[in-house]
A and B are shown apart, each in its own frame.
Chain A
Amino acid sequence: MRSRLANIDFIGVFLWVIRAAIIVAVVWGTTATILNNTYTTRQWTDFLVFGVAQGSMYALIAIGYTLVYGVLFMINFAHGEFFMSGIFTATVFLALPMDNAGWLDRNPLLGLLIIAVVSMVISVVIAVVTERIAYRHLRTAPRLVPLITAIGASFFWQNLYRGLLGGEQKPFPQLEVLTGTIPMLGTEIQKVHIVVIIVTIIMLIGLNFFIIRTKTGKAIRSVAEDKEVAALMGIDVDRTITITFITGAAMAGIAGVLYAMVYRQVHFFMGFIPGIKAFTAAVLGGIGSIPGAAIGGLFLGMFESVGPSLFLKGLGIPAFNQLKDVIAFTMLVLVLIFRPQGILGEPLAEKKA
């Protein structure tokens, strides 16, 4: 009798209870919300479109996490700062002066293009500097050491920017072209969301081409597979790792521009939350996999946008929108607990888990 009791996997039971409780809560909330007809179909579409736009940004940032994790098995905690640095710099030094001079309204497309390029370049520079100074010497260190270094780097950049460009929120100029809505899918969709989605699709296709078709992409994939063998095949591993960082940071730079266009404000701390969420997206999709990052980002964005209204409201939680971030974090925790390999990932080898 005693031995049988001891054989029960208490931890497993506990985890099943958590699973069941969450499923019940979600189903309960969802049913209640739908039965009460709280929102119209149009509102649901709005939530969904916003979620897709939001998720596109997460996807772009998540690429950086996934690429770096793929080659170095390291969570680049400072990636959110790569995202912040580009657009923060570009806003303060370019967007605001151009807007004040009225030039941005006259040449919105060219202006945005310049801002995007500058944002990408700055993000890339920050990433390369971080990699060169902080990460490169730690390739063989125990795994917690690079993570702690990355946390340090993240705090460093955040607070450097705070001292450099000021601690207050800066507005990102509102552009005539991007305001307003377009009728589509039986509802009015904001132009800026459409732009975000289109840009993301273009970037993802470009990235896919780069990784699959070019020689450099091949090098990145082979380094991710096995650094030593790649080095034996004549691939410059250090250079390839730097290129990986550059690729991820460039995506983050673009994501920064999209973020600024949607939320129209930037500040030094803006990288933290999107960074964590993008990491969640990367894990959700299966860390190390690029399509996984894209799918994970989209999924997280939609879930976060629809979720609070869908099941938190149904559960009768007051001011449920405050808990939006809780959903993302809970999702992160749940994915890591129950399916650490993510949606698309294959079960991770021991060294990656």
Chain B
Amino acid sequence: MVKSWDIDLRIPLRFGLIAGLIALMESVIGIVTLSWERSLVANVVTMGQVLLFAPAIVIASMAAKQANQDKKLVSLLYGLVTGFLTAIPLIILIAMATAFDLRQFMPNVSPALIELLTFGRSPVAGSLILLGVTSLMGLLAAAFDFLPKFIQRPLLMGLIVTLTIGIFSEILSNRLRDLVSVDFSRAIFEGKALKTIIAAGLFAFVAVLNFLWNQFQEPIRGAFGSLPPRLTRVLRVLVILVLIALGLLIPTIAGTYLSEVINNVGIFVLMGLGLNIVVGFAGLLDLGYVAFFAIGAYSMAVFTTEGPLGVSNMSFWAAIPFCIVIAAFAGIVLGVPVLRMRGDYLAIVTLGFGEIIRILALSDLLKPYIGGAQGVLKIPKPTIINFFAVIRDFFVNLFRGLPLPKAPFETIDLIKPEQFYYIVLAGCALAWFVSWRLGESRLGRQWMAVREDEDVAEAVGIKLVSTKLLAFAVGAAFSGLSGAFFASKLTSIFPHSFKLDISINVLCLIIIGGIGSLPGVVVGSIILVGMPELLREFKEYRLLMYGILLVVMMLARPEGFIPSAVKRREMLTADEQMQASAETESAAGD
């Protein structure tokens, strides 16, 4: 009887254990406690609850999918058992924390954690409740799978969007208060969370929208496809214009704090675009990329600072070309010795270079020039000519017959992040354009040939030396520009800003976005730099997240979220390729 049901209890056992360990890990490293009070939807759900129960839900759903499709009861059972087992490690933790003082070993296993795990009850009652809750969640997750796909997707989408907006409630409510009115902000947000009714409305709205999109996606696409080509071109230009206008308006919409965050994202986009050339195009894994960032930043600092370390009183603009050239030169100098290395040795050597540069910056040896641990202070912000005032004066004086404005013109300092944004934007746009054109140029194709197979590339007449050195130089130049912006933005720099973390961070963001893909760099930066900046209280867990992301991406989706076209083709499995070719053949046959 049981046999015909095909129950294999080892499946939920394994999944439940994994889910339980994840939940346990989240609890003992303290992230659950930290985020428990941060509510997403007022009085309904907090971030800590989501974090604690997400493993039970997600993994129970995965376990339920392992069951035979028409055996609904079995999949419910799998879900239930997985959910049940998720609670077991947590209950063991509760028991141990009640019996011993675990806090002396693990600082994050605090009474507060135990209290929230037991819902404020006694350990036994709390454990039972926890067991019930996770089991129920496992069961529901399994049951969710019974819904037809066209209902599942909108529901998931609605949930994700609502929770994401919930996470950023505080910032959004602040912005709404400034942009619209206090009352409007109060109408939507309560404290630092979405109001329940608004959240429900948002959820319904997104779900319906997603539902409609899924239903009518094909006809809409078809309609667009059948438009006359001239019209589509006009539409495309319009879209681009709107995007540019939006890009220019961002600081006004975003306000000071968000602009600062966006500037940081931009600095990483710039670096990401550079590393994308080195790693993504040319396939040279560089783990010491922060070295060029540091070189750019220190060049900017030393050339422009008003402090005692300054070698000249250049302006920001005059120093920029020097920073780029010095960084590119450094890229070549560090590139020459490693030309003959490939793969992982190259990675380790460049990592060594990065550390050497940082230690040198920190040492007393270079202290007289770049300040050692005290860093360089008093770096001026960029200044631009106040074009509005100059043009206004020009016309006013023209009409009044007064002498026209002459150099030196009136200038403004770009002190506020909202103003600095335009510089970062210009830098990113330039880097984007250069990467895009280079990627499609002869040189870009040479890089890709070197990436795929050095020996073959050499055999077809590509000069490895100059091709590789150009990749290093261009990548380093972008990074140097980024460093120059960084120095000017912060007005003071210290060696500890240039740790290995930055190299890893940049590497992560291009991998997450999709190696070799330009939009991927932007998306990766937003996810890996922007989000953590907005969630400052979880700063400690940022690198942990990076580690998990790197491993998971490599295992599950090595081509990244927005893969470049080439990679997408490469990553197709042999099956899919066969299928595709079979389809073309049959199409040709018809």
Residues of A within 8 A of B (CB): 11, 14-15, 18, 74-75, 92-93, 133-134, 137-138, 141, 143-149, 151-160, 162-167, 276, 279, 283, 317-319, 322-323, 325-326, 329-330, 332-333, 336-337, 340, 353
A18 proximity list for chain B (CB < 8 A): 337
B425 proximity list for chain A (CB < 8 A): none
Q: Out of B344, B365, B547, which one reaches A156, CB within 8 Å?
A: B547
B308-351, CB < 8 A from A = 336-345, 347-349, 351
Q: Out of B29, B106, B352, B362, which one reaches A332, CB within 8 Å?
A: B352
Smallest CB separation, B495 vs chain A (Å): 11
> Do B362 and A148 have beta carbons less than 8 Å apart?
no
A322 proximity list for chain B (CB < 8 A): 359, 362-365
B529-564, CB < 8 A from A = 540-541, 543-544, 546-551, 554-555, 558
> Do B337 and A333 have beta carbons less than 8 Å apart?
yes
B465 proximity list for chain A (CB < 8 A): 11
> Do A323 and B349 have beta carbons less than 8 Å apart?
no
| CA gap between A158 and B499 in the complex, in Å | 15
Of all chain A residues, the one with the shortest Cβ separation from B511 is A148
| CA gap between A74 and B347 in the complex, in Å | 12
| CA gap between A160 and B29 in the complex, in Å | 7
| CA gap between A134 and B547 in the complex, in Å | 11
> Do A152 and B551 have beta carbons less than 8 Å apart?
yes
Q: Give the 10 A-B CB pairs with smallest separation, nearest first.
A: A152-B550, A163-B29, A156-B547, A155-B547, A159-B544, A319-B364, A152-B551, A329-B352, A149-B554, A318-B364
> What are 21 A-B contacts defined by CB distance under 8 Å?
A74-B344, A92-B105, A93-B105, A134-B555, A137-B555, A146-B554, A147-B344, A151-B550, A152-B548, A153-B547, A159-B544, A163-B28, A163-B540, A167-B540, A319-B365, A322-B359, A329-B355, A330-B356, A336-B338, A337-B338, A353-B345
B365 proximity list for chain A (CB < 8 A): 317-319, 322-323
Question: Known contacts A14-B336, A148-B550: does B341 contact A340 (CB below 8 Å)?
Answer: yes
Smallest CB separation, A163 vs chain B (Å): 3
Q: Out of B108, B337, B342, B548, which one reaches A15, CB within 8 Å?
A: B337
A157 proximity list for chain B (CB < 8 A): 547
B504 at the interface (CB under 8 A from A): yes
> Do B550 and A138 have beta carbons less than 8 Å apart?
no
Residues of B within 8 A of A (CB): 25, 28-31, 105-108, 283, 285, 287, 336-345, 347-349, 351-353, 355-356, 359-360, 362-365, 367, 465, 504, 507, 511, 540-541, 543-544, 546-551, 554-555, 558
Smallest CB separation, A298 vs chain B (Å): 20
B29 proximity list for chain A (CB < 8 A): 160, 162-164
Q: Out of B359, B548, B554, which one reaches A148, CB within 8 Å?
A: B554
> Do B348 and A279 have beta carbons less than 8 Å apart?
yes
Residues of A contacting B: mostly: helix
Question: Known contacts A11-B336, A148-B511, A163-B540: does B352 contact A155 (CB below 8 Å)?
Answer: no
| CA gap between A336 and B334 in the complex, in Å | 13
Question: Known contacts A75-B347, A144-B344: does B337 contact A323 (CB below 8 Å)?
Answer: no
A75 proximity list for chain B (CB < 8 A): 344, 347-348
Of all chain B residues, the one with the shortest Cβ separation from A168 is B107
B507 proximity list for chain A (CB < 8 A): 148, 151
| CA gap between A325 and B355 in the complex, in Å | 9
Q: Out of A74, A164, A333, which one reaches B349, CB within 8 Å?
A: A333
| CA gap between A235 and B414 in the complex, in Å | 68
A144 proximity list for chain B (CB < 8 A): 283, 285, 343-344, 347
| CA gap between A156 and B504 in the complex, in Å | 12
> Do A337 and B337 have beta carbons less than 8 Å apart?
yes
Smallest CB separation, B171 vs chain A (Å): 25
| CA gap between A42 and B246 in the complex, in Å | 71
A-B contact sample (20 more), CB < 8 A, given A149-B550, A162-B29: A11-B465, A15-B337, A138-B555, A144-B343, A146-B554, A148-B285, A152-B549, A155-B550, A156-B547, A159-B543, A160-B25, A163-B31, A163-B544, A164-B29, A318-B367, A323-B359, A329-B356, A332-B349, A337-B338, A337-B349
Q: Out of A11, A137, A148, A333, which one reaches B352, CB within 8 Å?
A: A333
> Do B285 and A340 have beta carbons less than 8 Å apart?
no
A133 proximity list for chain B (CB < 8 A): 551
| CA gap between A14 and B465 in the complex, in Å | 13
Of all chain A residues, the one with the shortest Cβ separation from B550 is A152
Smallest CB separation, B78 vs chain A (Å): 22
